[in-house]
């Protein structure tokens, strides 16, 4: 009887660990960057995402900082825009351990390579990459590099560095949007294990990311129209992916969240590049 009552008892409310601990936990989860373990902290425990994503915009900035610095330094040194953009994307992929790219590849293989929800989820769990996943990663890398090169050509290295940092924050919150608004497609998946963000977390994280993006845009002299276009394209891309995932697999997985981040990052780069092209900067 006591066992049944404990099973039906509501989950304990999440405890906010503090901004420093929450940012560190997000960095560990989303990247390969070394983060020192604090006394009494279990760095290998599954993070509780009910509140942690409030700190994700700050963590995203730190994750993307090495890339932004490489792009700024090599751009100011006069290297070709395409080389600078390629170096930047390579550093970002290395920093995250291809975390989001893996999600994009698995999502492409699963969503478009299976005929039933069960088979799609089975394919997504398979560590091998198929033709859809290979094409998705190749196209994503091509779009990121070419869009960043266009930003470098149109507005310079400082603007490209600002775009990388702003896109890093916003795109990861778009990935959290998937986890917060769609049910898990499988109960034993990573997205189910981290928990559903609390209702107030998503608007707070979006607001913080928007403030960060605006400040970075002003510092990097990015066109406001480009930022707005990028956010609009990001919303369209993530909305399409969420509807597709709900229809084909009944909800979301960690791979879908990773794919959403990739689509959002590309969308923001493209929005800025489009605005720069139209303005003739």
Q: Is 280 exposed, middle or buried (0-12, 13-18, 19+ CB in 10 A)?
A: exposed
**pLDDT over 50 (residue 12):** yes
**pLDDT over 70 (residue 268):** yes
CB atoms within 10 A of CB 186: 18
- Between CA 53 and CA 184 the distance in angstroms is 17
Residues 6+ away with beta carbon under 8 Å from 11: none
Which pLDDT value is given to residue 177?
A: 95
**pLDDT over 70 (residue 2):** no
Which pLDDT value is given to residue 142?
A: 98
pLDDT digits (tens, 9 = 90+) for 141-168: 999 999 999 999 999 999 999 999 999 9
pLDDT digits (tens, 9 = 90+) for 74-93: 999 999 999 999 999 999 99
**pLDDT over 50 (residue 254):** yes
Find the range with the poorest average confidence among 121-130, 159-168, 182-191, 265-274: 182-191
220 confidence band (pLDDT: 50, 70, 90): very high
**pLDDT over 60 (residue 245):** yes
**Stated pTM of the model:** 0.92
Which pLDDT value is given to residue 31?
A: 95
C-alpha distance across the termini of the chain, in Å: 71
Which pLDDT value is given to residue 11?
A: 62
Which pLDDT value is given to residue 1?
A: 45
- Between CA 217 and CA 174 the distance in angstroms is 19
SS3 assignment, position 78: coil
Q: Which residues pair with 184 in a beta bridge?
A: 252
Percent of the chain with pLDDT over 70: 93
**pLDDT over 90 (residue 63):** yes
Choose among 245, 270, 263: nearest CA to 191.
245
| pLDDT: which is higher, 15 or 161 | 161
**pLDDT over 80 (residue 191):** no
Which pLDDT value is given to residue 48?
A: 85
Instruction: List the domain boundaries for the chain.
Output: 54-279
Which pLDDT value is given to residue 4?
A: 47
Q: Tell me the average pLDDT across 184-202.
A: 84
| pLDDT: which is higher, 190 or 138 | 138
Length of the chain: 281
Which residue is it, tokens 């969308």? 267
pLDDT digits (tens, 9 = 90+) for 94-142: 999 999 999 999 999 999 998 999 999 999 999 899 999 999 999 999 9
pLDDT digits (tens, 9 = 90+) for 23-62: 999 999 999 999 888 776 776 777 888 999 999 999 999 9
**pLDDT over 90 (residue 271):** yes
- State the average pLDDT for the chain: 91
């Amino acid at each position: 009887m006591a066992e049944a009552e404990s099973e039906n008892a509501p989950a304990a409310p999440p405890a906010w660990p503090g901004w420093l601990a929450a940012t560190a936990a997000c960095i560990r989860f989303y990247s390969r960057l070394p983060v020192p373990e604090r006394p009494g902290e279990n760095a290998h425990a599954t993070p509780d995402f009910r509140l942690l994503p409030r700190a994700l915009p700050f963590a995203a900035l730190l994750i993307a900082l090495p890339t932004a610095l490489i792009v700024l330094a090599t751009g100011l040194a006069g290297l070709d825009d395409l080389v600078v953009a390629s170096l930047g994307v390579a550093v970002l992929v290395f920093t995250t351990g291809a975390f989001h790219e893996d999600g994009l590849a698995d999502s492409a293989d699963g969503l478009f390579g299976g005929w039933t929800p069960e088979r799609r989820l089975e394919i997504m769990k398979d560590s091998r990459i198929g033709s859809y996943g290979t094409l998705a990663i190749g196209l994503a890398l091509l779009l990121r590099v070419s869009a960043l090169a266009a930003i470098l050509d149109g507005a310079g290295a400082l603007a490209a560095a600002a775009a990388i940092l702003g896109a890093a924050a916003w795109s990861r919150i778009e990935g959290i949007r998937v986890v917060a608004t769609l049910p898990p497609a499988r109960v034993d998946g990573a997205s189910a294990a981290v928990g559903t963000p609390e209702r107030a977390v998503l608007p707070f994280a979006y607001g913080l990311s928007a403030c960060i993006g605006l400040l970075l845009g002003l510092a990097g002299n990015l066109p406001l129209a480009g930022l707005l276009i990028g956010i609009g394209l990001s919303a369209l891309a993530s909305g399409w992916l969420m509807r597709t995932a709900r229809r084909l697999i009944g909800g979301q997985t960690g791979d879908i969240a990773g794919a959403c981040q990739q689509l959002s990052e590309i969308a923001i780069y493209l929005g800025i590049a489009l605005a720069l092209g139209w303005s003739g900067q």
